[in-house]
Amino acid sequence: MSRCRDWSGVGAVILAAGGSTRMGRHKGLLPWGDKPLLRYQVDVLCDLGLGDVAVVLGADVDDLSPLIVDDERVRTIWNARYASGRSSSVVISALALRAQDALMFCNVDQPVSTRLIEDLLGGASIGSDSTIAVAMQRGRRGHPILVRRPVFSELVLIEEASRGLKGVLRKDPKRVLNVPTDSPNAHLGFNTPEEYEHAIKRLRSGELEVG
């Protein structure tokens, strides 16, 4: 059970539209635990009792769509401009979920965990004056990133040239809350087969969190 009473005002976005060219196959299809990675991400977020969970798809949509759970909270968003970069997925999801109080952005190739999300949202609720919150582990920022409603107007204007979400994060350091977490998943991510295999070894050894 989540430690938070009500996170229904927080929408989660899984950015999964890219083509995964360096991996050689879409990262959302890779096994993680006992599930394909995209399904794993969706299940973790749904189990936490968030508001809408949006999955932004582009490349390999026919292979990925069957992995999305049939749940009224889960929305599939098609990004026809996915080849232009990740920023286009942020823009389209921010428009689609603009009724939420806050949006949490998760990349499909950065597996979250229940503890990681609970730490981020719990810490963000304490530092409620901050409009952006980001998980920090061992003194280094990681993921996910949580953005509150006052920043939505910036999200719909971002582009690759302005460094996307990173540009929003760096615009005004005073509005960013660094939320400490002990979850090793805060720095987890992979772009190549070698990085993925290394992550699998860490997962099997119990170094990483699943679920």
Q: What is the distance of C-alpha 98 from the center of its chain?
A: 16
Rounded CA separation 192/23 (Å): 4
**Residue 117 backbone dihedrals phi, psi, to 5 degrees:** -70, -40
Domains and CATH numbers, the chain: 10-204 (3.90.550.10)
Per-residue pLDDT reduced to its tens digit, 156-171:
898 887 677 888 888 8
pTM of the full structure: 0.92
pLDDT digits (tens, 9 = 90+) for 48-81: 989 899 999 999 999 999 998 888 889 999 999 9
Can you tell me the mean pLDDT for 142-154?
93
pLDDT band at 3 (very low <50, low <70, confident <90, very high): very low
**Phi and psi dihedrals of 208, rounded to 5?**
-105, 160
